[in-house]
Every structure is written in structure tokens, then in C-alpha cells.
Amino acid sequence: MSELTYLEAIRDGIREVMKEDERVFLIGEDIGLYGGSFGLTNGLFAEFGAERVRDTPISEAAIIGASAGAAVTGMRPILEIMFSDFTACGMDQLLNQAAKIRYMFGGKAKVPMVLRTASGGGAGFGPHHSQSWEAIFAHIPGLKVVMPSCPYDAKGLLISAVRDNNPVIFLEHKVLYKNKKYAQEVPEGIYTIPLGKAEVKRQGKDLSIVASSYMVQKSLEAAEELSKQGIDCEVVDLRTIRPLDIDTVMASVEKTGKLLCVEEACSFGSFMGEVITQVIEKGFDYLDAPPIRIAGKNCPVPYSYILEQEMIPNVDRIKDGILKVLGKN
């Protein structure tokens, strides 16, 4: 057991599955000797060699397509798309090929691949390096979408994703990567966290906050601050958004009667819109107040620090949301 950052935990998970399964290999831009844009694959090239840690040209479509082709013929690729925004360059290969191969072939093929990519804003990278596209991926039948919020979860979910027999989009939050504030004790060796299982990260009785990825951390901070005012929030970390563990969400809402969804993505057509819809469809009667979202503003992620901070939900906005649902502001 040692204290690892989010990035180190993911790397540790990759190393474990590569040791465990010869079919696993890495493919992506600058992931070899250079170690990846964020340094996540540092050391893996030296450990596993150029055959299994494959640097590619800047060819997102070919990277994703080749991963799908390798997966369907018996390998288990982990591909890195440097920034989630760059998946746009390979969307046909992802949404039309990888995601649909199994269904189109009448269930006679499987496509076990993991697309790892750095998602989210808050790092000053501007409109092409900061987006949160989970709703786009989660909308496509055939894809699974994982959004870990902390190092322990990230490693366990990564291992599960690689062992899964489907294309999995593994959205890593770039602000979490190296932030020591969120470092955690992470067990050595293999352990797994099942895909499609949410976790209650904070127990509470007054209101349910549903979030994923970095927004879980911000929600926990908001909950902690409001606890000083006697407000007791529950925080549900979805961990994977597809499959969606709506049962855990419902159980929490049934307990608290109030729901606040927090997400970094633009609110229009967002994933939390799906969560709220399902809660209303399944348990309208549990709700004592209208559920709301605290989400990204409906614009591209801007560059300038003050603009970016305004675009992305922060602890204060989450606190305001909590008070609003509780009817206290």
C-alpha cells in the first residue's frame, strides 16, 4: 500500500493488467519513451518494450480503428487519446465501428478495448483541450463510460475496464492527475471495482448529490463546508455513467427526498439530464423538491482563468445549488 496520485494509480493499474495478460498492449501518441503528454505512461515503454507500448503518428481515427480491429481479432488494446477533444477526429471509428460491431454482427464478435483520455477543464488549455464529452459517448449503445473520481477507484476501474469485453471510454480528469491533495493509499497488485456500480462517498440525510469524476471532489468539499451549518448531504459517485447504477441513486433519493446533480459538462443535453429524467420516471413521489443541475455554462470552455472558472462549476455554485434545492436561499 502506498500513497499514489490519480495518474500514478492509473499507471499502476495499466502495469498490473499488462503483466497479467499478454494480449494487453498500449497504443497512442507520444506514449512511449516520452511517457505520454501528462507522463502517465512513464516507464511502461522501458518495462514492456516498443511492441507493447506503441507510439503512433497523429492519427486518432487510425488509432481507434486499429484498436477495434485488434480487439475483435483477439487482443485487448488500451489506447490513449491525448485529450478527449481529439476523439472527434476518430468518431467514425469509435461510434460507428467499435461501438456497433457486436450488434451489427448479431452478437458474434466482441470488442474489448479501453480508450483512455484526458477529459475536463480547469487547466487553462482552452476550447480544444478541456471539454467534457461524457454525454456524447454515453449516448451510444455499445460503449461503456467510466469516470473515476479518485486514485483508488481509478486503478480498480481501469483493471475492470481492460478485463471487460466491450469498448470502454475511460475519462480521466486532467486536474486530478497530479494533484497531491487527492492522493490516496492504493493497494498494490490487482483489485477491481465493478463497472456499473456507484458508490456513496459521503453519507447524509438531507439531500443527495449525484456527480462523477472531479465534480465528486468538489461536491464533497461543498458538503463538508455546509455540514458546519448543520446541512447533511449525501454524495453519490456514479463512477461509471454507462452502465448507470440508477438503483444506488434511487436508494439515496428515497432516503433524502432531494436531488442535486453536479457535472462539469455544458448543461444543455447533458448526462445529468438523463439521471434526473430517470429519477423522475422511477420515483417522482420520492422527491420533496424539484431536482436541479449545477453544470457547465453553455459555451465552449474558455481560456482566460477567470472565464474558465466561471464556466465550470465550483464549490460555491454547488453550495448555492444545495441551498436552492433545500429551499434555503
Partner 1 sequence: MKECTVRECTIIKEKLTDLKEYKVADRFKDLKKEQKVEMLKRMFQIRYFEMEVEQFILKGQIYGTCHLYIGEEANAVGAMNAIRKNDWIVSHHRGHGHCIAKEADLKLMMAELIGKGNGYCKGKGGSMHIADMDTYNLGANGIVGGGMGVAVGASLTNKLKKNDGVVIGFIGDASTNNGIFHESLNLASVWDLPLIFYCENNQYGMSTPIIKSTRIKRISDRKASYNVKGVTIDGNNIVDVFNTVSHFAEVCRKGEGPVLIEALTYRQRGHSKHDSQVYRTKDEVEQWKEYDPIVRYREFLIESGIISEDEAKKIEEKAIEDIKAAAAFAEASPYPDLSELETDVYAD
Active site residues: 129
Q: Is 101 in the site for partner 1 (CB under 8 A)?
A: yes
Q: Is 104 in the site for partner 1 (CB under 8 A)?
A: yes
- The minimum distance between CB 211 and partner 1, in angstroms, equals 25
Q: Is 91 in the site for partner 1 (CB under 8 A)?
A: no
Q: Identify the CA nearest to 152 among candidates 8, 316, 269, 263.
A: 8
- The minimum distance between CB 105 and partner 1, in angstroms, equals 4
- The minimum distance between CB 67 and partner 1, in angstroms, equals 6
How many angstroms from the chain centroid is the CA of residue 22? Answer: 26
- The minimum distance between CB 313 and partner 1, in angstroms, equals 31
How many angstroms from the chain centroid is the CA of residue 152? Answer: 13
Q: Is 105 in the site for partner 1 (CB under 8 A)?
A: yes
Cβ proximity to partner 1, 4 vs 68, nearer residue: 68
Total of chain residues touching partner 1, rule CB under 8 A: 45
Positive or negative: CA dihedral 162, 165, 167, 173: negative
Binding to partner 1, residues 140-159 (CB under 8 A): 141-142, 144
Q: Which of 42, 56, 192, 314 binds partner 1 (CB under 8 A)?
A: 56
Q: Is 131 in the site for partner 1 (CB under 8 A)?
A: no
Q: Identify the CA nearest to 155 among candidates 32, 1, 16, 47.
A: 16
Contact 212, 154 (CB under 8 A): no
- The minimum distance between CB 270 and partner 1, in angstroms, equals 22
Cβ proximity to partner 1, 71 vs 311, nearer residue: 71
- Half-sphere exposure in the Cβ direction for 329 (13 Å, CA): 9
Instruction: Say how many residues make up the chain.
Output: 329
Q: Is 187 in the site for partner 1 (CB under 8 A)?
A: no
| Residues at the contact surface with partner 1, assessed by CB under 8 A | 25, 51-52, 54, 56-57, 59, 61-75, 77, 90, 92-93, 96-97, 101-112, 141-142, 144, 165-166
